[in-house]
Amino acid sequence: MSQVLTVEDLTVEFKLPEGKLRAPDGISFSVGEREVLGIVGESGSGKSVTALSLMGLIPSPPGTVKAGKMEFMGENLLKEAENIRGKRISMVFQNPLNSLNPSMKIGAQLVEVLVNHMNMSKIEAKEKSILMMKSLGIPSPENLMNRYPFEYSGGMRQRIMIAMAMLCNPKLLIADEPTTALDVTIQSQILYLFRELKQKFETSLIFITHDLGVIAQIADRVMVMYAGKQVENASVEEIFKNPKHPYTFGLLDSVPKLIPEKRKERLLSIKGNVPGLLEPPKGCRFHPRCSRAMKICAEEEPPAFKVDSSTVWCWLYKSEVVKNENA
């Protein structure tokens, strides 16, 4: 499978009055053609900042993006993000109400994308916007084009955001927790919509969430992040059937079980809290919360180990060190 996106040793550093904060901190990953990479982890792990760095949306100051390699279809994203953003890489943000302009009608915002990125006339842009809305199951798009964002429901606003992101037929779509604020029924519809888009437009997808249930439904591969670091990278089947990192075990154990005999059991949780990233723990950042921590975990940061088809950053596995991991 050819790679659409390759990232090596990505670090985003923020210079704050209290000190320097890095999240993400030295992560590497790739996304293949028509592949869905799920990025999962607790709040504060660096998931959204990773997405914003790919889009070239990290404000400087205070942020600085550094990477050994950040390449999109042969082009350097560190230099060309502004020319690629919106046209060949698009993003669906977490809160559609805050992402849409409240003072502009939906139609005007959709048309603006095509006029700016595709040099279309306003008439052509309006026609394509209506067709895209229809393809996403938005009823009566001709009428809805004349409404403001606050006149839409949460699920409908999210559909509009997806339509806006797909107008230029991007090769890579980044979705940052697009189902978080939606009820279960609407969430299921949005996930189905993303799967349809992947097939219809042959688009690669980075799907960011803290919900492993969502990951199970949509991802091909999963990157698990914790406190700015990646801790495990594997296929979605491997993550659920044979997880390797103690943190991944903890995330899976904290998901409510639907099996009748499991319903009465106490819901498990990961003890402690995510550490502050201004002064992260030495060694493995998860060791203060890990029930399997060893002495070396508090002293040295683990390298990448190849275990079966997974890559895991944990001292429990000392077989083969992966020197350049993008899988």
Domain locations along the chain? 3-88+168-321, 99-167
Question: For 7, phi and psi rounded to 5 degrees?
Answer: -125, 130
Predicted local distance difference test score (pLDDT) of residue 211: 85
**Mean pLDDT value of segment 260-281:** 80
Predicted local distance difference test score (pLDDT) of residue 137: 79
What is the secondary structure of 297-309 as a DSSP string?
Answer: GGTS----EEETT
Q: Between these two residues, 168 and 11, which has the higher pLDDT value?
A: 11
pLDDT in tens, 129-158: 999 888 887 888 888 899 999 988 888 888
pTM: 0.89
Predicted local distance difference test score (pLDDT) of residue 246: 95
Q: How confident is the model at residue 324 (pLDDT cuts 50, 70, 90)?
A: very low
319 CB-near residues (< 8 Å, 6+ apart):
305, 306, 307
Q: Is 248 helix (H, G, I), strand (E, B) or coil?
A: helix
Asked if the model's pLDDT at residue 259 lies above 70, the reply is no
Predicted local distance difference test score (pLDDT) of residue 191: 87
CA distance linking residue 40 with residue 54, whole number of Å: 17
Asked if the model's pLDDT at residue 105 lies above 70, the reply is yes
Give Cα separations from 237 to 28, 52, 56, 62 (angstroms): 21, 28, 32, 39
CA distance linking residue 293 with residue 147, whole number of Å: 55
Of 182, 191, 194, nearest in space to 156 by CA: 182
> Token pair 């964002």 is at which residue?
149
Of 54, 66, 68, 51, nearest in space to 11 by CA: 66
Predicted local distance difference test score (pLDDT) of residue 76: 93
Predicted local distance difference test score (pLDDT) of residue 325: 45
Of 65, 31, 60, 32, nearest in space to 50 by CA: 65
pLDDT in tens, 292-323: 999 999 999 999 999 989 999 999 987 555 55
Q: Between these two residues, 110 and 181, which has the higher pLDDT value?
A: 110
Q: Between these two residues, 96 and 284, which has the higher pLDDT value?
A: 284
Percent of the chain at pLDDT > 70 equals 94
Predicted local distance difference test score (pLDDT) of residue 326: 46
pLDDT in tens, 200-250: 888 999 999 988 888 998 999 999 999 999 999 999 999 999 999 999 999
Homologous superfamily, domain 3-88+168-321 = P-loop containing nucleotide triphosphate hydrolases (3.40.50.300)
Asked if the model's pLDDT at residue 39 lies above 70, the reply is yes
Q: Between these two residues, 23 and 255, which has the higher pLDDT value?
A: 23
Asked if the model's pLDDT at residue 171 lies above 70, the reply is yes
